[in-house]
Structure formats: structure tokens, C-alpha cells
Structure 1
Amino acid sequence: MDGIGVKLRSARNQWGLTLREVEERSGALAQQSNNSAYRISASWLDRIERENRGLSATKLIVLAHIYGLKTDQILALYPETNEPATPQLAPASSPNSTHLLLEGPLEEHARLLLPETLVTDPPPQDTMLLPPDKTVMPIHYRRGIIGQRDRTMDPMILPGSIVLIDTQKRAIGSRRDWTNEFNRPIYFLFTRTGYLCGFCDLDKLSEWLTLVPHMLSFETNKRLRYKHEVEVIGTVAGIFSRRLA
């Protein structure tokens, strides 16, 4: 009967991940969540896999997140005492390769996050925040649509794009938190004139927020009084881009 270490190694191999890649992904998760307990070292994971050692719930949750395990798959890692456990880890496509989602758990997950109606319906003229969908989305995630007239992040985020918003991440990051435009946080904002989406800078006294457009956009900076004229809905966690006809 395989122990938990063998099953974790099997899950990692199904994704084509090395021990070092798991360490890097856990480090990114720890940084995003501001929780060092989420960090997993390659040497520690190697011992777990080889020696079938026990691990804390926190570490198990982090590994489940990285490997894309569902609840029943997590429970299957721990064998029952009365009868042998048979691991039922569903095969998943490797995140290190391009894959067309036609079937399987990833395809089902994609359809939940991005229903076909959002793709086929014409986008609004102005950027808007969609009503929460508590039946499908995690409670702290919302979806928004970039309006046809919103060119703030063009060409990085095209008008008509659908964005996934993490409402738990509302703090405006400092300049040292990012190194280039691709890892610079993008924020979804609510103002007196409507919703906006773009890069943001905050002054030293946290009194003024500046909406910064993409460097290739023809839009100009917008300066708003922080928490008086503008509210941060959250940070953009995912983008579905589409070109308008």
C-alpha cells in the first residue's frame, strides 16, 4: 500500500513539476498571501516523498493548490485504516505545456470561471463589475468586463476583455513590489463616474491615487483622492482577452 509520500510524488509527476518548481510556486503563494508558512522547500518535499512523513494541514493545502487536487483527491492521500486505499488522482494536463481544454477537470473549471455567455455577449460601452456568483466563484472573487470605450490598459488588456478580480487584495503595492509591467499589479476601481482598471500609484501620505495607463495607451493619468473619490475593488488575478470585430 502506497504511503502519502508516494502519492504526492505521483501527483507532482502528473503535472511534470520538479521539486524546485514546487518550491518556487509555494514561495510565490507565500509572498502573495503574506504567509511564510505556505513556503515549501525542495529538500523538505523530497524527504516527505521518500520517507512518507506526515505533514501539516497548511502544507497539504498548499500542495493541493499547486497540484490542482480536489477535496476527494486530498482525502485519498490518507489511506483508511480498515481497507487499502487506492489513489484516484485524476490525470491533469501539465501546466508546463500548452493544452487545448476539451474535456476533463481543467475544462470544467474553465467553464465555471468563464461561462460562454460572457464570451459571446457583446461587451458594454463602459467598464462594469458583474454581480457576484456565489454558486460558482469563490466568495472573494468577482468578474468585470472592460468597456469598449476603456482604453486605459490597451494593448495589454483589450476593450471587451473579462477580468477576474481578487477582492481580498485591495492594498496598493509599492514600487519595490514589482520589476516590470508584466508582474505589476493591475487594480479594478470604483469612482464617482464609474469603474476603471489599470496600474495605480499612491503618494507617500496615502492621500492621492494616480491611475496609470499602459505605456502604449493614448490615455492620460487620472489623479483621484484616495478613499474619497475612488475605492479599490481588488486586484486583477486573471484576464480573458478577446478582439472586438
Structure 2
Amino acid sequence: MLPGLRLRQARELLGLTYRDVERASYELAARRGRPDFILHISRLADIENRGVVPSLHKLYTLAAIYRLNPLEIFGWYDVPIEECFHDGTSFPVPRTHLMAAPTSLRIPMKFDPAFDPRRTEFLSRMVEKWGHFEGVLTNGHSRHIYGYIGMSDRRMMPLLRPGSIVLVDGSVRKIDDGDWTTEHDRPMYFVEVRDGYRCGWFHQEGSRLVMQPHPLSHCLPETWRMPEEAEIVGRVTGVVTRLNGPEHAPYRESPEERGDSSRKVP
């Protein structure tokens, strides 16, 4: 069904006329302080009957007045908002950064009775029913955020590969580097610095924050003054990574991108 027809049906189900919608849009625009929310009768007619695509603000107006989910309207226009996170991760970028969380995640709801969690298996063969968990880990009140390890960021190779996605607990903003026995136990942190972000091992020496790259990365340590030059975003609590193949050749990094910047531990 055409999206304009869907919107027309939604309006008629509520018993609203074109003039009712226009009047309500003026009230919404006054409340929000932006005339972009105003939806004139002629524009509404074009949206319903001529296939005109509403602008972002007018789409919000229609969703608010018609009591619809804006994401549902996006779907009517073939804009898959729920796939934005997954589409974004398919385009590698060179620098490490924070990223928006997925709106939902496909998770197993029911396992095959023969599934034995003690054995290594193909998960796809063991799941009888899949479902979607909305607002995965993050919402307006969650402490978790996501970070992306840039394709030119090789500071923690091979433990943390370029292109990895990390889950960061934003409530842990203090470095604790004392209670670990192996490199897999050593906590990693996501840190904002003047020229971007760093993710990896850190320790503090007085007012200095020091990043210690993985020894096999061949990158040098870096140091910043706290809090003038660096801010701890949070502690890494999860990692999703993909093994590099020939079709995912890493970026050729400059010395600065590899961590060989001028800010080094003496």
C-alpha cells in the first residue's frame, strides 16, 4: 500500500479533516517553537494523493497528530531505521569513535531440545525461534554506549582488531589497572582525547594518563594530562569483532594514526 494512502487512512480513522490537521500542526509548531512543523492543507493533500514525501519535521507532525510511531512511517517510505546500525558497520572508517546503538537486536528465543551449552555448536542450527530485543542495552537512561575501533587504529592488535565494535560502561570512569593476571583479564577503557578517541589499556601516573598499546602492535605509548587533555568515557565490557579477510585489507596508517605521535611517555 502506498504511504500516502496509509496516512490518509490513519487520518480518516481518527475522524480528522485536512483543516483539523493543519490547525493541530500550528499548535504543535507554536509549542515546539519551529514553523517547520506546520503542515498546510495543500501539502497534506499532495502527501496523500500525489506521492510527495514529507520532510522530517512534517513527518513528526503527522506521527504526533495521528498517534503513530515515526519509525513505522519511515518504514512505509522504505527507510529501514532499525537497520541503520547494521548498515553503518558495513562501511569501515579509519578512526576510532563512539557510535549510536542499534534500536533492536536479533536474539534466540527458543533453543532446540538437543542443545548442549557445554559443547561447541553452530548456533543457527540450535535455535528454533528468533526474536528481537528492542532498545538493546542502551536507551535514554542506560549507562552503556558503543564504540568503533577505526580501521587505521592498530594500537591493540591482535587483541582488539580494527573494525571491532566495543560495548562501553559509561558509569566506570576511573582507571583500575591493578587486579589482573593475563592480558585477557586486563581492563580496557574508551577515552576521549584532543584528536579523537583511544581504546585499550591505560594507567595513571599522578595527573598523567598513559595508554599502553599491545606489545605486538609495534605502537608506542602515549600520554596526556588529566583532565585537560583526556577524559575517560568508560570501561570496555564487551567486544564484537570480525576476522580480517583479503577483501577487508586494513588502511595504510600514518605514523600518527599508528600511535607514533609526538605525545609519548619519556
TM-score of the pair, normalised by structure 2: 0.45
**More strand by percentage:** 2
Higher alpha-carbon Rg: 2
TM-score of the pair, normalised by structure 1: 0.49
